[in-house]
Amino acid sequence: MPRKAPSQVRSDLPRPPSRWDSRAVIPGISGKALADIARVERYRYAPGAAWHALRHWRRLVYERGPWVMYPSFVSDYPCCDPPWIGEHRQILEEFLAVLPRRARRELRAVLAPLDARFLARTLNDPYAAPGDPWWRRRLETP
């Protein structure tokens, strides 16, 4: 019976999570706050969930194109499309709700310029439901 090559054996071994997935560092947040975020991720989300959500929110806010943008909330194919970026903002809001006060303040300081830019680049929807979060009460189409 032929043996597996050593490279094949190594490729079959489970890989440790990369630094991009598990312990992603959010710039502007202290080590203690990152430890608090990692603790929340361990019990409620996957490792690196806050970093991924922040990265997607930043990508939407700094998206190229005309200054006024119209985010899309509705998906024609919800099974196949990635979630709308607003879902990532919802994840960040849930982190803000459960983090200790100091970590919450640091994460809010990182989010504040992004949120301000999103508000500046989008238009208020006067017909939006009042119970929706503020990032969903923006116009979807011109």
Give the closest residue to 26 by CA, choosing from 54, 46, 45, 47: 54
Share of the chain above pLDDT 70, in %: 80
CA atoms within 13 A on the CB side of 86: 16
Model confidence at 110, in pLDDT bands (50, 70, 90)?
very high
Per-residue pLDDT reduced to its tens digit, 54-92: 998 898 888 877 777 766 655 544 555 444 556 888 999
Question: Which pLDDT does position 117 carry in this prediction?
Answer: 92
Question: Which pLDDT does position 113 carry in this prediction?
Answer: 95
Higher pLDDT residue, 22 or 128?
A: 128
